[in-house]
Amino acid sequence: MPSPFPGMDPHIENQEWEDFHARYNTAISDALAPAVEPRYIVRVERRVYVEHPLGGSDQEDVRWADVAVLASDSQGGVATLTGPAAVGTIAPVECVLPMPQERRETYLVIRERETMEVVTVIETLSPANKRTSGDGREQYLNKRNEVLTSRSHLIELDLLRGGSRLPTTTPRPRGDYYAIVSRRPTRPRAEIYAWTLRDRLPAIAVPLKRGDPEASLDLQSVFTTVYARARYDLSINYRAPLAPPLDEADVAWARELIDRGAVTTKDLAQNNLLV
pLDDT at res. 86: 57
Determine the straight-line distance between the first and last CA of the chain, rounded to whole angstroms: 10
pLDDT at res. 70: 38
Instruction: Divide the 275 residues of the chain into consecutive groups of 10 and give the mean pLDDT of each group.
Output: 96 97 97 97 88 56 35 47 64 86 87 97 96 87 96 98 96 97 97 98 98 98 98 96 93 93 50 36
Extents of the domains making up the chain:
10-49+95-244
- Dist. CA 22–CA 197, nearest whole Å: 22
Q: Three-state SS across the chain?
A: CCCCCCCCCHHHHHHCHHHHHHHHHHHHHHHHHHHHCCCEEEEEEEEEEEECCCCCCCCCCCCCCCCEECCECCCCCECCCCCCCCCCCEECCCCCCCCCEEEEEEEEEEEECCCCCEEEEEEECCHHHHCCCCHHHHHHHHHHHHHHCCCCEEEEEECCCCCCCCCCCCCCCCCCEEEEEECHHHCCCCEEEEECCCCCCCEEEECCCCCCCCEEEEHHHHHHHHHHHHCHHHCCCCCCCCCCCCCHHHHHHHHHHHHHHHHHHHHHHHCCCCC
pLDDT at res. 133: 80
- pTM here? 0.79
pLDDT at res. 55: 55
pLDDT at res. 160: 98
pLDDT at res. 105: 87
pLDDT at res. 53: 66
